[in-house]
Amino acid sequence: MPSEIKFGTDGWRAIIADQFTFENVRKAAQGLAGEMLASGAAKAGAVIAWDTRFASEQFAVATAEVLAGNGIRCALATRPAPTPATSFSVIDRKAGGGVMITASHNPGSYNGFKVKSDRGGSAPPEMVDRIEAQIERIESGEVEVRRVALDEAARNGLLDRFDPTGPYLEQLERIVDVGAIKKARLKIVVDSMYGSGGGLFPRLLAGGGMELQEIHGGPNPAFPGFMQPEPIEANLGALQAAVRETGADAGIAFDGDADRVGFVDETGRYISTLEGFSTLAHHLLERRGQRGAVVSTITMSSMVDRLGEAYGVDTPRTAVGFKYVGPTMLECDAMIGGEESGGYAFRGHVPERDGLLSGLIFLDAMVSSGKRPSELLADLFSLTGPHSFRRVDREFPGDERAGIQHVIDTAEPDELGGMAVERSDRLDGVKYFLAGGGWAIVRMSGTEPLLRTYAEAQDAGTVDRVLEDLGAMFGL
């Protein structure tokens, strides 16, 4: 029987009580323990944290029991925490690795098991391969799951309890001049989507001239009102309305584990994830005078390439997933890294997505320039030209997966949306490069039965036509 535990673009995720069970979580934890013992990372211990999803704390406890049962010292969070706080805790505590119990932006019926390397980022592909090999040994009966109760682990010096949020927020204040942001007389609305970032932005920015309103700040594992806690336009109606009703200067949203971010301008207009990343990169290059590679996935905007040309920096591309972006950032000492999903990382921190830090840098751009979000975008477009982007996720029946994959592997259309296809690239799914600088991508979701289709062009009408043609290619 094939394993129910399969790691995707960032960790293993599954529906709670279906495949995401305590038995399987313990197998995943034993797989990680085996990898850490074999690699020598176990000597430095592990960090374990959890989000606001159903039973996340209990799954985190089960993970700690298994790691401690293998003689690995564990630091277990006492409260829900953002994934980037977990990543920073690995570095801060000099641990050999970490686990974050979260399904990030997936629907509330899901939970997940994210693994962190000793460098704080998502476990790279080779580490994931070793963990999955260990899990195969467990499921074959070659290796048993070993566990001890938490109180026994504590008596044996194998368990420490800690709050990850304090040191993490102090780290953010070292990277960004939070004092200057607090003094600015801005009105900001924050949507924490009932996730583990709730309450942290107000905690960071309290006590100054800023007026900050948080919505959906308390924990709720059902994420009511959202199909999934993902800061994309379809989920930000309440934030957009709050910005308009209060006359706010901007809106900022975080996903369920606060490693992704979404922005809304002063008119309530959604700023796409591609525009958001490009705006942050432009700010660091132009106003902060930073230099270094801008790393992004194949689904990121071609505006990144224009910025690279303008400022003389490299713009390497990777497959989708921070398990690819993070290591590439480390290899080339990148200034910033990001992916289309709204996850952005920055030099001087951890090679991992951080929604709160992204939000602070967005506010820093507003404060240091004295400009509103729409004006920051206008500055960007004056350099890169206008760009329009949209992503459409299409569900498909499980028995059609092989046929859809065959089309991804083989289809070579002559044109899409009335634009000629100049070439294709199959680094991750398939990317079609279109005449005039546009592009389109089709790829499978790494965590759900979804076909993701993406398009970028100079205007929204062309983007819509490209996406329609992609849907017709797959009969969806």
Per-residue pLDDT, 40:
97
User: For the residues 395-423, what does the mean pLDDT come to?
Assistant: 91
pLDDT 10s digits, 149-192:
999 999 999 999 999 999 999 999 999 999 999 999 999 999 99
Give the mean pLDDT of the chain: 95
What's the confidence (pLDDT) of residue 117? 95
Structure tokens, 314: 């490299």
Q: What percent of the chain is predicted at pLDDT more than 70?
A: 99
**449 has a pLDDT exceeding 90:** no
Q: Could you tell me if 78 and 129 are in contact, meaning their C-beta atoms sit under 8 angstroms apart?
A: no
Residues 45-64: what's their mean pLDDT? 98
**Mean pLDDT value of segment 402-421:** 93
Amino acid occupying residue 319: A
pLDDT band at 1 (very low <50, low <70, confident <90, very high): low
**Residue 145 structure tokens:** 């799951």
Token pair 């259309």 is at which residue?
413
Is the pLDDT at 405 greater than 80? The verdict is: yes
Mean pLDDT (whole number) for 110-124:
94
Average pLDDT over residues 113-133: 94
Domains of the chain by start residue, with CATH: 7-165 (3.40.120.10), 176-384 (3.40.120.10), 388-474 (3.30.310.50)
Q: Is the pLDDT confidence value at 400 over 90?
A: no
- Residue 368, pLDDT > 70, answer yes
Mean local confidence (pLDDT), 131-139: 96
User: How much is the average pLDDT of 252-273?
Assistant: 97
Q: Does the pLDDT of residue 195 top 70, yes or no? A: yes
